[in-house]
Amino acid sequence: MAGHEQVRAGPAHPPPENGVRLDVRGLEVRVGPAGPDVVSEVSFTVQAGQVLGLVGESGSGKTTVVLALLGHARRGLSISSGEVLVDGVDLLRLPAAQLRAVRGARVSYVPQDPSAALNPALRVGTQLNEAIRVHPGAVEDPGARIREVLEEAHLDASSDLLRRYPHQLSGGQQQRVGLAMAFACRPSLIVLDEPTTGLDVSTQRHVLDTIRSLCQAYGVAAVYVSHDLAVVGGLVSDVAVMYSGRVIEAGATARVFGDPLHPYTRGLLSAVPSPLQAMKLTGIDGQPPRPGRRPAGCAFAPRCGFVTAGCRSQPPEPVLIDARTVRCMRVAQVRESSTGAATALTGAAPAAVGEAPVLSVREVSAGYGRRPALTGVDLDVPAESCVAVVGESGSGKTTLARCIVGLHRNWTGDIRFEGSSLAVSARDRPRQTLRRVQYVFQNPYTSLNPRKTVGQIVAQPLEEYLRLGYRERSQRAARALADVSLGADFLSRYPDQLSGGERQRVAIARALVVEPDLLICDEVTSALDVSVQAVIVELLRGLQAQHRIAMIFITHNLALVRSIAQSVVVLRDGAVVESGPVGRVLDRPGDPYTARLMQDVPKLARPGVPGPPAQGAAASEPATP
């Protein structure tokens, strides 16, 4: 779909002679005028036509950096020092009026959520027009330019697209409109803040291809922020890894991802699941320190496996080693040690055969009003095994889970749990049946009552299902917390004192404390960082084996499936496309849809694991092996 030949015009602003479009030097952003720094000592350059990936966990300062590239700081923050040179002009020294003129014309921004970034009350055409006309003189013929950028973004300009409102477009189309808007004035620098996070893998891949080809065609320097290392690895030429407001490792993507030298980069990479091979995910436990609460020495020291006393006493200076800069005192020792990434899992427990399934779903159809969400879904969960339910957003995976637990009431068919049919609604099910099927919600930020302590939250099901006394409840709650690696000091904390990963552990502890026979995990890691996702997935796998329970693991991330499940069900538009053992379905997909998903899922070249074929700009034709 993507192709350079479609792109006609050259860049509006010729790049400087050395080709450096963006040069960031010593950028520092502080809380207030003199508070603690949020990001500091951030320097990098981006050549014309290149894409720099900025990666790190949430809270690492990525978004703060890219907003500073536009000369903007969030409320309460201020850019205290540094230079942002775009084609040699320092944006941070421009007067307000000139800065406004530069934004959107020379420097443009593509936000994370296209549905929130487009004005829902204005037609697409009006908004595109506005983006151009706000910079008088930047474009000679706005109408022609709009047609041109729409075509470049692979949108059909001839259709009635321009007269539509944003809600009448799909997520992918919305993001393409956002891209078209960003490229409309032929900028020198474009900043992309996780623009494909909410998109399905196939759409994501096409959008990424478009970004890459447009940047190359127009000599645009791009900074691409993402927490998804697999996406970044396939897209960008250079990468900068951020932690706690500092760039801790930066260099060519192949080097940094192929042979990471900072313990944090290693941790991040070993947390990325592979769609090609079952891996033990390690991840990084804990959370990054907040600005103002950073330790005296290296900010990563509390979470680092290579830590020494020296790390804790003074912050590391960046060193140049193996053609990249690394901010670690122990880099020599890290380099000598094995990569630690990609521990392949061998001999994952095979699905139990011949036994009666714990749960069997037959011919289940469900809908919202008259709109069908599921049609004739069949699913079997064998005892003590994990079944992954995979599908894109809108495929009906969450609806299926909610039918099974009885939260969605508008369904027909038969769901049998240990041989007996379940009532449609949870209200009509006996308490003990409710207890034996536990559900962990997607978003740990809404599934814990903010007014209750962790102890109350975990003990509550013991009171409701089992009517246990206070002492017994407290003991079992503490034990359940220990199971998910949370100490007894968490009992008296409130959810807003916990990180996302800790919240999800509490939710898991609440489900397991009543000793269920079936655990349903609905996208439990999608709201979490990759590093935390790895920890949670490993935790779930360990607990599933330890408690010998059956599990349904719902996810949109095909790569995760191998790391946790024995069999998989692929859903599309509410119907089962394919199901079977994980190895068979993912390696030899019987359905073209599964094959396409497997092909489009971003794959990361990693140390120790055979890498994927290089993803070129024109790699979107179906692969013909």
Partner 1 sequence: MTGIAPAVSPEAAPPARTGRHPWLSVLWSTARTPRGAAGLTMALLVVLVAVIGPAVSPHSPNDLATLTFAKPSGQFPLGGDFLGRDVLSRVLNGGWLLLLMAVAATAIGIAAGAAAGMTAAYLPGPPDGIIMRTVDVILAFPQLVFALLLLSLLGPKLWLIVLAVGLSHAPAVARVIRSATLDIAERDYVKVAELQGMRPAKVMTKEILPNLISPLMVEAGLRLTYSIVIIAGLAFLGFGQPPPTANWGTMINENRIGLQLNPWAVIAPAVLIALLTIGTNTFTDAVARVTIGVDRRPEEAALLDDLGPEQA
338 is a site residue for partner 1 (CB under 8 A): yes
Within residues 433-452, the interface with partner 1 by CB under 8 A covers: 434, 439, 441, 443, 445-452
Is the Cβ of residue 258 or residue 302 nearer to partner 1 in the bound state? 302
Among 7, 13, 25, 31, binds partner 1 (CB under 8 A): 31
**How many residues make contact with partner 1 (CB under 8 A)?**
72
Is the Cβ of residue 306 or residue 593 nearer to partner 1 in the bound state? 306
Residue 540 burial (10 A CB sphere; 0-12, 13-18, 19+): buried
Q: At CB < 8 A and 24+ separation, what contacts does 466-474 make? A: 466/435, 466/514
Terminal-to-terminal C-alpha distance of the chain: 20
Among 49, 198, 500, 612, binds partner 1 (CB under 8 A): 500
d(CA 15, CA 324): 25
**Kind of pairing between the strands at 246-252 and 279-280:** unpaired
Tell me how far CA of residue 113 lies from CA of 52, 227, 422, in angstroms: 20, 15, 39
Tell me how far CA of residue 199 lies from CA of 65, 172, 557, in angstroms: 24, 6, 12
406 is a site residue for partner 1 (CB under 8 A): yes
332 is a site residue for partner 1 (CB under 8 A): no
10 is a site residue for partner 1 (CB under 8 A): no
Stretch that binds partner 1, among 29-37, 90-98, 370-378, 576-584 (CB under 8 A): 29-37
Among 196, 213, 226, 282, binds partner 1 (CB under 8 A): 282
Sign of CA dihedral 551, 554, 555, 559: positive
d(CA 434, CA 429): 7
Those residues whose C-beta lies under 8 Å from the C-beta of residue 424, and which sit 6 or more positions away, are 406, 409, 411
Is the Cβ of residue 381 or residue 528 nearer to partner 1 in the bound state? 528
Among 160, 464, 472, 587, binds partner 1 (CB under 8 A): 464
273 is a site residue for partner 1 (CB under 8 A): no
**3-state SS, residue 477:** helix
Is the Cβ of residue 124 or residue 481 nearer to partner 1 in the bound state? 481
Would you tell me how many other CB atoms lie within 10 Å of the CB of residue 380? Answer: 18
Those residues whose C-beta lies under 8 Å from the C-beta of residue 124, and which sit 6 or more positions away, are 118, 161, 162, 163, 164, 165, 166, 169, 177
Is the Cβ of residue 373 or residue 498 nearer to partner 1 in the bound state? 498
Closest C-alpha among 7, 46, 1, 42 to residue 23: 46
Closest C-alpha among 273, 339, 345, 342 to residue 306: 339
Is the Cβ of residue 290 or residue 588 nearer to partner 1 in the bound state? 290
Give the nearest distance from C-beta 314 to partner 1 in angstroms.
18
592 is a site residue for partner 1 (CB under 8 A): no
Give the nearest distance from C-beta 606 to partner 1 in angstroms.
15
Give the nearest distance from C-beta 538 to partner 1 in angstroms.
10
407 is a site residue for partner 1 (CB under 8 A): yes
Is the Cβ of residue 16 or residue 35 nearer to partner 1 in the bound state? 35
**3-state SS, residue 190:** strand
597 is a site residue for partner 1 (CB under 8 A): no
d(CA 483, CA 475): 13
104 is a site residue for partner 1 (CB under 8 A): no
DSSP 609: B
Within residues 40-69, the interface with partner 1 by CB under 8 A covers: 58-59, 61, 63-64
Among 487, 610, 622, 625, binds partner 1 (CB under 8 A): 487
Within residues 291-330, the interface with partner 1 by CB under 8 A covers: 291-293, 295, 302-306
Give the nearest distance from C-beta 75 to partner 1 in angstroms.
8
Within residues 248-267, the interface with partner 1 by CB under 8 A covers: 263-264, 266-267
